[in-house]
Amino acid sequence: MPNDPRVRLEQLRFLYNIQLHHLRQTEHWIRVAEERAAEAASREPPPPPQWGYSHARGDKPPTVHAWDCVMSGPKKPLTREQALRALTSDQIPPCVYCTPDRHLGVLE
């Protein structure tokens, strides 16, 4: 009875149940992978700052620097917005070596 529609229907239901089981297993794997990715992302250190503020030292005025500037000494980290505000509104001079004003697009 190879052409019996009842046998064919039974075979298709069996196949459907197997595929449904595989789909549920795959959905579970996706959830586990998403949880692991979220945990890993929460453990990653924040990116280093790009800009910094060095306090006045002796006869040197406070200045705004690129974070990797070797001429600055110790500095406080600044966001891009804070660095722009320091250079413009607060009128803190930029470092003449790393020229953060040029990199931030501030025109004199």
pLDDT per residue over 72-92, tens digit each? 778 899 999 999 999 998 989
pLDDT in tens, 7-60: 999 999 999 999 999 999 999 999 999 999 999 988 888 888 999 998 877 777
This prediction has a pTM of: 0.58
The angle formed by the CA atoms of residues 27, 39 and 23, to the nearest 5 degrees, is 5
Question: Are the C-beta atoms of 69 and 97 separated by less than 8 Å?
Answer: yes
State which amino acid sits at residue 41: A
Q: For residue 73, give the nearest of 60, 86, 84 by alpha carbon.
A: 60
